[in-house]
Each structure stands twice: as C-alpha cells, then as structure tokens.
Amino acid sequence: MKTELIPVIHMVSAEQVMANAEICVQCGIKKVFIINHVVDVDELIQCAYRVKIKNSPLWVGINMLGLTAEEAITTPLNGLDGIWCDSSLPTDKAYLKKEFRGMFFGGLAFKYQTQPKDLQLACEESKIVTDVATTSGSGTGKAPTTVKIKTIREYLGDHPMAIASGVSVDNIESYKGLADYLLVASSITDNNEMIIKEKLVELNTKLD
C-alpha cells in the first residue's frame, strides 16, 4: 500500500487558500482538502471551484463544517472530487454515496463524535457507507494510537482508510503502510493558516 499525504487547508480567505494550493502543487501534492472554520459553506464551495479551475489536475475535496454527512453528500458539487465529514452516513442512506460522483471520506471513531460501542461493527458499516473510512485521535492535533489504527486496519480489510489528526514528522512512519491517506494541517501550517513549504516537503518525503 502506498500511503498518500493530503494537506488540509483551513480557509481564512480565498487568497490564502489559493496561495496554499499553489504551494501544494509546487511540492508535487496530488490531493487537497479545504475546510471552513471561519467562512460559510457557500464561500468554501466557490473557493474550491476556483482552486480546481486554476489547478485542474489537482484533486480537490471539501469539509463543510456544520453539515451532517447526509446534507453534505447531497449538496450539488459537480466538478469537485471529494467530501470529508467528521460523521458518517447511516447504513440506510448508503445509496447516497453511490449517487455522489466523488470520493466520500466519512468519520469512523472520529474525534468529538459519539464513539462506537462495537468498533468491529462500526468498521463493517463504514465499508458500506464510505469510500474512505476516516478516523482520528481524541482531539485536534492529537495522534491516534497505533493500536487503534492497526485494529481498524484489521477490521476494514482492504477498504481504504484515512487518519485525520496529529500526523507529524515524529510519527508519520508509524502509519505508513497502514493508512491509505494522511490528512494533515497542524504540523505543516503557521499561525496564519499558511502551509510552510519546508515542513510539507519534509513530511511528504517520509512517505517515499
């Protein structure tokens, strides 16, 4: 398995997102997520389209904070490549994933969500309702334990998996070959939500 790094851009302004996307392209990054901590969903979507138009080979996904997985996956997003939600779809809504043309990264034992009582069952359900089962540590910037990741990997089998918190140069090699995707922000950005090119390169090099 080749583990792929996906930088997560916390949108402050359209100009800041465009500049970050350019840094990612310069560093050979193939996929990015953009997330709206301080702007509304409409601004996020329009900015994501701008990024996609300017960098057409770049895979562009969004995380629309405040929307449920069902609301997010039914939002018209023609031309964008992915949706990431901290929550996931109920199994009776699995058909919505099939109707969405992009990749759906849905939460699995994700931070600040109700944690599953039966992790194996949650993994089985995640295989039905996600394209990429996406897990995290206990909080923002906190890395999941390797025990958690290895357990989820075992339960998921070959279903794609992502980690979305706490990945840094100090632990990235622990997840290499276990997770398909590593979504990173805190360890590669400054206080202005700008990606530090040198840190992105250093982190990505660890996956070579």
- The residues pairing with 104 across neighbouring beta strands, listed in sequence order, are 83
pLDDT > 90? residue 137 = no
The DSSP element (H or E) to which 164 belongs, if any, is none
State which residues form the domain around 164: 4-205
Could you tell me the CA-to-CA distances from 14 to 20, 23, 126, 147, 159 in Å, in that order?
Answer: 10, 14, 33, 39, 34
How many domains would you assign to the chain? 1
- DSSP string covering 65-115: TTS-HHHHHTS--TT--EEEESS---GGGHHHHHH-SSEEEEESS-TTSPP
| Residue 122, amino acid | A
pLDDT in tens, 185-198: 999 999 999 999 99
Radius of gyration of the chain (CA): 16
**Structure letter (DSSP) for residue 57:** T
User: Which band of pLDDT confidence, cut at 50, 70 and 90, is reported for residue 139?
Assistant: confident
In this predicted structure, what is the pLDDT of residue 34? 98
CA gap 152, 142 in Å, rounded: 17
Please give the distance of CA 168 from its chain centroid, rounded to a whole number: 15
Tally Cβ neighbours within 10 Å of residue 2. 7
Give the pair of three-digit tokens for residue 204.
């990505």
Beta strand 103-107 with 132-135: parallel, antiparallel or unpaired? parallel
| Residue 43, amino acid | E
In this predicted structure, what is the pLDDT of residue 146? 94
pLDDT in tens, 140-162: 888 999 999 999 999 999 999 99
Q: What is the mean pLDDT of the chain?
A: 95
CA gap 110, 18 in Å, rounded: 28
CATH code where residue 132 lies: 3.20.20.70
In this predicted structure, what is the pLDDT of residue 172? 96
pLDDT in tens, 74-98: 998 988 999 999 999 999 999 998 8
Range 54-83 average pLDDT: 94
Range 14-27 average pLDDT: 97
Helix (H, G, I), strand (E, B) or coil at 162: strand
The DSSP element (H or E) to which 19 belongs, if any, is helix 14-26
pLDDT in tens, 32-41: 999 998 999 9
